[in-house]
Structure formats: C-alpha cells, structure tokens
C-alpha cells in the first residue's frame, strides 16, 4: 500500500499492516515516537490494533532540541 508518511509518498511492503508493523519496519520500536494518522493521535495501546490503509496520512513525531 501507499501512504503519505511525514509529508512524503511511501510504499509499504505487504507485511506492514498495523502501526506496530510500521514502527518495526522503520526500526523505531524502541524510540520515543508519537503517531498521528489522518490527524488523529493514536495512543500506544492502539498501535497493535490500528490497521493502516491506502492513502493514510501518517505522521511520526518526536522531540527535538528547541527553546
């Protein structure tokens, strides 16, 4: 499937079905990351059950240095 990931078109392999899969695919499972899908913020408990679908707009957010 194709999603919009952090503003860029991204093709995902078949095995990426849930948000947990997506984080695993990008090797982010152990990182501090916040997930937003189609402007809805997901809670961590939802990662395993939330199914991604074609054309989803996904944002993977984190904290960076700032004042």
The reply on whether position 45 binds other proteins by CB under 8 A is: no
Q: Which tokens in the block code for residue 3?
A: 């999603």
Which residue in 2, 29, 31, 38 binds other proteins (CB under 8 A)?
31
Phi, psi at 46, each rounded to 5°? -85, -15
The one-character DSSP state at 19 is H
The reply on whether position 29 binds other proteins by CB under 8 A is: no
Tell me the site size for other proteins, rule CB under 8 A. Answer: 26
Place of tokens 């059950």: 49
- Residues near other proteins (CB under 8 A) are 5-8, 26-28, 31-34, 36, 39, 41-44, 59-67
């Amino acid at each position: 499937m194709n999603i919009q990931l952090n503003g860029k078109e991204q093709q995902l392999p078949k095995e990426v079905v849930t948000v947990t899969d997506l984080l695993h695919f990008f090797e982010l499972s152990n990182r501090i990351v916040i997930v937003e899908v189609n402007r809805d913020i997901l809670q961590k408990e939802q990662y395993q059950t939330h199914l991604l679908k074609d054309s989803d707009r996904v944002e993977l957010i984190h904290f960076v240095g700032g004042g």
